[in-house]
Amino acid sequence: DAKTTQPTSMDCAEGRAANLPCNHSTISGNEYVYWYRQIHSQGPQYIIHGLKNNETNEMASLIITEDRKSSTLILPHATLRDTAVYYCIVRVSIFGNEKLTFGTGTRLTIIP
Amino acid sequence: GAVVSQHPSWVICKSGTSVKIECRSLDFQATTMFWYRQFPKQSLMLMATSNEGSKATYEQGVEKDKFLINHASLTLSTLTVTSAHPEDSSFYICSARDLQGSYEQYFGPGTRLTVT
């Protein structure tokens, strides 16, 4: 499994862009990078995923470096509701089952 | 988006009793569902992979006789914690993979189990 490394915590001012980094230097060529977030006492919420191209959806943008060893999740205009733990995950596929291995994540706090 | 529900959202039980937690995919079919456990201030730990119509696959260190998983239909998986003890108190979360979609997993809201 490719492991990921994320900062333990980050703060961001409300209305600003939140940039959450993730290192995955041992990622394999066919592994995707996924981002989920977990608001306190809730189940994780899917945000975005990508293979090698940058991706954007209504929630966020995902920037993956050319060597695929790191990525950045961007929340363009952070709100207080974006306060959560953000998990960067590299998908593991074993016998067709798509296991997600969660690391410790980044606790993002949006400051009013 | 796809919705996954869990029931109950919280439960308190006495030590030695069994508790069943349901996980349902409400608007999609899922041949595969996953069960996670999360202790306070820790990350999610995968317990087992539940496959419709077949036996679940348990992660190393998870007792299959204690955590019984049944996936009888494409929209329902159940986790039964047998002979629960206080150390089983945790937040249990399921997820389901949409058959028709890509490889996104959709998570339920979680069930908080407290064993007294």
Higher pLDDT, A56 or A93: A56
For B53-95, how does the pLDDT look when each residue is reduced to its tens digit (9 = 90+)?
888 999 999 999 999 999 889 899 999 999 999 999 999 999 9
Higher pLDDT, B97 or B12: B12
What's residue A95's pLDDT?
Answer: 44
CA angle (A47, A50, A56) in 5-degree steps: 60
Q: Give dist(CA B4, CA B49) in Å, integer.
A: 16
Optimal mutation site among B35, B107, B111, B113, interface A, most CBs of chain A within 10 A: B107
For B12-34, how does the pLDDT look when each residue is reduced to its tens digit (9 = 90+)?
999 999 999 999 999 888 888 99
pLDDT reading at B99 higher than 90: no
**Chain B residues touching A101 at Cβ < 8 A:** 46
Mean pLDDT of chain A: 91
Write the residue in B6, B49, B110 that is nearest to A97 by C-beta.
B49
* Residue B46 to residue A99, Cβ atoms within 8 A: yes
* Residue B110 to residue A102, Cβ atoms within 8 A: no
Q: Is A26 on the interface with B (CB under 8 A)?
A: no
Optimal mutation site among B42, B95, B105, interface A, most CBs of chain A within 10 A: B105
What's residue B54's pLDDT?
Answer: 85
Which amino acid appears at position A40 of this protein?
Answer: H
What's residue B28's pLDDT?
Answer: 86
pLDDT reading at A25 higher than 60: yes
Residue A91 structure tokens: 């998908």
What is the SS3 assignment for B75? Answer: coil
* Residue B105 to residue A103, Cβ atoms within 8 A: no
* Residue B107 to residue A105, Cβ atoms within 8 A: no
Burial classification of residue B66, based on how many CB atoms lie within 10 Å of its CB (0-12 exposed, 13-18 middle, 19 or more buried): middle
